[in-house]
Amino acid sequence: MPADNVGSLSARPSPIFRNVSSKVGIIAAFTALNLATDYMLTGLPNVKFMDAFYFIATFEFGLSVGLPVVCFTRTAYAIVNPLGAAPGFLIVFLVVGDSMYVLSGYLSRRFRLVEKESSAGDRVLSIGLIGLFSALGFDLITNFGTGLSMVGGSSLQSHLWGALVFGLITMNFPLPLGIVHEASDFLFFSTLVPSSLALLSRSGLITTGPLGRVIGKRGDNQN
């Protein structure tokens, strides 16, 4: 697929919903999909399809869909979790951490980050790296939040510093859960994101978007 054919579509504004019910339906669908896949993958710590779905929801439908999906998904999963409910204060950090994927979806669309690459392979690599660094941001935020509850300090500064150090150490010790999260997000973003958007586009559920063109389509060279 020639790079010239990927351009102005990335500046396409997010869809304007005809009514509130259509937006609510999309938010509910993404939330349900996230929760279903989360429960399915409970036995694989830090391996989550929902990170990619956050990105897709925001990239294709905007912040007004992506942010509610994060809030509903993370709050529900944190409370009804097979591994145990998360403390209330940690839910805030989890929501903020998941919002990294919303931010990356918004910025990718707003600044056409993916389309700056000239080849399809480079664009897929870019999407994978976006997922990897979003996962890193999530891990730093949530591990810092956990550290705040685990580490004391004689002053606010020492408390915050201790929480940060605790988060950095426990991110990959004693188990390399941070590496697992970042590696799996790289894999899912570079495969699941472009293929899912292309599939949605071909099914007529969404208008062809720039990431849907990453893997190429026969109609790309047609007027």
Task: Tell me the mean pLDDT per 10 residues along the chain, length 223.
Answer: 35 60 93 97 94 95 95 95 90 97 95 78 92 97 94 88 92 92 97 86 60 42 36
How far is residue 92's CA from residue 21's CA, in Å, rounded to a whole number? Answer: 27
DSSP 3-state of 6: coil
CA–CA dist 120, 213 (Å, integer): 9
Surface-to-core class of residue 51, CB atoms within 10 Å of its CB (0-12 exposed, 13-18 middle, 19+ buried): buried
**What's the confidence (pLDDT) of residue 161?**
93
What is residue 13's predicted lDDT score, i.e. its pLDDT?
Answer: 55
Q: Which of 53, 37, 46 is nearest to 143 (CA)?
A: 46
pLDDT confidence of residue 221: 38
CA distance 158 to 216: 52
What's residue 14's pLDDT?
A: 55
For the chain, what is the radius of gyration of the CA atoms? Answer: 19
Helices (H), the chain: 20-40, 50-61, 63-79, 88-110, 120-150, 156-170, 177-203
pLDDT at 98: 98
What CATH number does domain 11-212 carry, 3.40.50.200, 3.40.50.720, 1.10.1760.20, 3.50.40.10?
Answer: 1.10.1760.20
pLDDT at 4: 35
Residues 88 and 78: beta-carbon distance below 8 Å: no
Three-class SS state of 119: coil
Per-residue pLDDT at 6: 31
Nearest CA among 69, 188, 181 for reference residue 127: 188
Q: Label residue 219 exposed, middle or buried (CB < 10 Å: 0-12, 13-18, 19+).
A: exposed
